[in-house]
Amino acid sequence: MNVRVLVVDDSTDLRRLVTAIITAHDQGWNVVGAAADGQQALQAAQHLHPDLILLDLSMPVMDGLEALPRLRESVPDATVVVLTGFAGDAAQDAALAAGAHGYLEKDAMVATLIPRLQTILSERQEHATADPE
């Protein structure tokens, strides 16, 4: 499965780490772009048309919660997964209410990122097949 990924986080180190994890996965997944805030994410998404957007919540200029519904509108076929350091139900509930397809905490990311993303993508694909709009 080819998956075009856009990584959105204000931390350069985290963007590099996520890119390295995805590149090491080597199953047709490609990081096609990166952005440091929600505004850059919108521009990149419109230009790159990613399949998967990994989106941080806490960023300057435009945070993830503000960018999320705009990304969903701009690239409606993309799966948007919040990847954040915020733990807790309130942040997760807010992200899902804003249109995220999934919510992953950064703390255990290295070992679990790819399997968890595969599950989210698979569930979304099954849902779309079962209930075409």
pTM of the entire predicted model: 0.85
SS3 label, residue 56: coil
Question: How many residues comprise the chain?
Answer: 133
Q: What single letter denotes the amino acid at residue 47?
A: H
pLDDT at res. 124: 83
Whether residue 6 contacts residue 48, with contact meaning beta carbons closer than 8 Å, is answered with yes
Under CATH, what is the fold of the domain 3-130?
Rossmann fold (3.40.50)
The per-residue pLDDT for range 60-96, each reduced to its tens digit, is 888 878 999 999 999 999 999 988 776 667 777 888 8
* Residue 33: strand pairing partners: 6
**Domain-by-domain residue ranges, the chain?**
3-130
Q: What are phi and psi of 91, to 5 degrees?
A: -65, -40
